[in-house]
Amino acid sequence: MTTQAETKVWSYPKSSTYLRTHDGEQIYATERGTGRIAVVVVHGFTGGHRHGSHAKLLGWFEKFFRVIAIDQRGHGNSSGFCTLSHHEVMDVDAAVKWARELGAEKVVTIGFSLGASSVLRHAALCNTTTRTKFDEGIVVEHKPDAVIIIGGVAQWWYRGSRKMRFLHALVKFRLGQIFLRRYAKVTIGPNTWPAEDAENRHLLQPLDPCDSASVIAPTALLIIAGSEDDYFLDNHGHRLFEAATKNKNHNAEFWFEEGMGHAEAATTQGLVERMSTWVVRTIN
């Protein structure tokens, strides 16, 4: 059994840089570890390099892989505005490119919560030339070899939990945005999304998570959801997996973790070890 002392693995980068995205943002990125397989770890909303739970995860992954971590736009040391996984796909793309430049033969993207939507959409957009109106300006060119999402949402504008209703209020209103910038160090900028009540919104909005899951094949996909996730209720993981398996060429797997909460804070060293085993088994 893993002891409390063994779980306290803090990781420090051996190099850091700023990656330029296709739309000109400067994304803070760090590198840890070595190896022919790289994992690009993408944090949840308000997360990033400043958070202890994030640093701990990077240390656990470093035991197995070269680790690339980024602050998504509008977070931490990166430039730009948070667009809630709309333009963040270009941050992921820049990180995958850097991982390959550093010598990685295989690259796996791993996203938590907000980051889950970012890596899922990134891989899906790499696999399809079809664009909704609000994705027409998105350019992604560096396809991952596999994707893992932990605590991801299945639909946009989800308000089915108390925490998501509160989060929507913070993001939507000016006072909430000021609070996020001052206390969470997250900058929300001009709205890049269609109106929620827009006619035919589904045809306009950024490619949504379930649609992304349905076109991600043949890229391997692991979906992880916790039974005690208090952000995304209503079986979001099951819905994403169902969408993925509608594609006859799918290579998707679903782990429903009993007793697990939400995203990074609920991810244990044991789960990281199991994910790492899945990565090696899947892409080798």
Assign 3-class secondary structure to 37-71.
EEEEEECCCCCCCCCHHHHHHHHHHHCCCEEEEEC
Give φ, ψ of 256 to 5 degrees.
-105, 110
Q: Report DSSP state, residue 186.
A: B
Tens of pLDDT, residues 97-133: 999 999 999 999 999 999 999 999 999 999 998 899 9
Task: Give the separation between CA 65 and CA 60, rounded to whole angstroms.
Answer: 9
Domains of the chain: 4-283 (3.40.50.1820)
At 72-86, the pLDDT tens digits run 999 999 999 999 999
Q: What is the pLDDT of residue 107?
A: 98
Render pLDDT for 205-228 as a digit per residue (tens, 0 to 9): 999 999 999 999 999 999 999 999
* pLDDT surpasses 50 at 6: no
Please give the pLDDT value at position 4. Answer: 42
Q: What is the pTM of this model?
A: 0.95
Confidence at 273, pLDDT banded by 50, 70, 90: very high
